[in-house]
Amino acid sequence: MGRGVVAVACAAAVALAAWWLTATQPIAAADLPDHVANPRAGERIFQLGGCASCHASPVNGKRAKGADKLRLGGGLELYTPYGIFRVPNISPDTKDGIGGWSMLEFVNAMQRGIAPDGRHYYPSFPYTSYAKMAVQDVM
């Protein structure tokens, strides 16, 4: 083999190794702490996290305000350098929202940006903003 082929093969091997070493790993079920739901803490995290600012269903094509911000049906369109992103439904509805997700799936989405089907939410979902939170706070 020529030097060029060897150089390309080595560069490809280094790139593959770098990708593998830096790939986001999901949180394992064994790493989830015991948890008792605390609605007041959940409400606080919801408010501090700004969830409604993106996930509230638009009203007449505009961002929701007031009590409408608690209707988390998604649908807001965000225009980004990557294209138009339609914000998903995060209501507890089991068909259209995230009500059918396990706690592990929810934590992996929030802290690792990994969807239940294994897709990555980057670049649209700011999961890195929540990556350093205590798992108990995310739960």
Single-letter residue type at 63: R
From the first residue on, what is the mean pLDDT of each consecutive set of 10 residues in the chain (139 residues)? Answer: 80 74 81 91 91 91 88 90 90 93 95 93 83 90
* Sequence-distant (≥ 6) Cβ neighbours of residue 28 within 8 angstroms: none
Cβ pair 52, 64 in contact under 8 A: yes
- pTM, two decimals, is 0.77
What's the pLDDT score for residue 118?
92
What's the pLDDT score for residue 24?
77
For the chain, what are the domain ranges?
28-138
What's the pLDDT score for residue 11?
79
